[in-house]
Amino acid sequence: DARVTQTPRHKVTEMGQEVTMRCQPILGHNTVFWYRQTMMQGLELLAYFRNRAPLDDSGMPKDRFSAEMPDATLATLKIQPSEPRDSAVYFCASGLSPQGPYNEQFFGPGTRLTVL
């Protein structure tokens, strides 16, 4: 069945280490979103792509975060170096474009990141 997959599901690392999270969007979807969710900030958009091109990454700390789509079936979010304040659940979501009022987003299960 069609669903967004994310790996790893859990990641514990030490401050300063590089973290890479991966997302496989639903086949045929051409938009991919990265979100971060914490108790304090809620669900924050970090970046999104359409047809593999980055459209908006203004929500992402540029000095340590990077997002890419090397191909249509893989999106990556990298943090280097990681810091304790990066501890959160990172969700990937995918959807369809062109623009429409009711294009929904389908969420993956998330990656729970803990930076010690």
Partners of 115 in beta bridges:
13
Binding mask 11-50 for another protein (x = CB under 8 A): --------------------x-x-x------xx-x--x-x
Within 10 Å of residue 42's Cβ, how many Cβ atoms?
9
Q: To the nearest whole angstrom, how small is the minimum distance from the Cβ of residue 57 to another protein?
A: 11
Q: How far apart are CA 3 and CA 89, in angstroms?
A: 18
Site for another protein in 48-67 (CB under 8 A): 48, 50, 55-56
- Positions in the binding site for another protein (CB under 8 A): 31, 33, 35, 42-43, 45, 48, 50, 55-56, 91, 95, 97, 99-110
